[in-house]
Amino acid sequence: MLLALIVTICLAGDVTGGVTTLRAGELSCEILDQGLYVPESKRVRYADAGSVTGERFEIDQVRFVRQTKQIEAMLGQRFGMRYRLVGVTKPVMVTWRVVYPSTVRGAKRWEHRFAASPAGGELVQHLLYQFDVASEMVKGRWDFQVLVDGKQACSIPFEVK
């Protein structure tokens, strides 16, 4: 099941190792945490026809307990990233995207779009996933991506084993 958290946003020109470098006057994205997490607040359920389970969740507080890109395929496993977008000087459209290694219930990926107008030009958020049903546990490379106005800001691959 998809979980999302509220964070800050940045975009820039070149993406290297999942981090977009900041150029003067441009947006940049920095991955602050990645790997396994534990929730520290309740998750809120939303219907999401684009999700493989028909729902997504948002959560306000998580704590990353292990920095890793190697994820064990097991029910209840929670993984993802926390990122910061910097240099957001006008309202933008943010897209969260999770690309699966192969189709999950007929879907190759999941996307969620939302408008953001962060105060102070910075947005910090989480893009998270939790295996709640066996059909979600597809082994291989999972790509977590953040796009701003349709352009990739940052991404990180996870290897589900």
Q: Give the chain's domains with CATH numbers.
A: 2-160 (2.60.40.2390)
How many CB atoms are located within 10 Å of the residue 124 CB?
18
Average pLDDT over residues 109-125: 89
pLDDT of residue 154: 95
Q: Given a cut of 90, is residue 8 above it in pLDDT?
A: no
Which structure tokens are listed for 128? 């998270």
Phi and psi at 16, nearest 5°, equal -130, 120
Instruction: Report the predicted TM-score, pTM, of the whole model to 2 decimal places.
Output: 0.82
pLDDT of residue 12: 33
pLDDT of residue 138: 94
For residues 143 and 79, is the Cβ–Cβ distance under 8 A?
no
pLDDT of residue 36: 98
Confidence of residue 103 (pLDDT cuts 50, 70, 90): confident
User: CB-based contacts of 76: which residues, under 8 Å, 6+ apart?
Assistant: 130, 131, 132
User: CB-based contacts of 14: which residues, under 8 Å, 6+ apart?
Assistant: 20, 21
pLDDT of residue 28: 92
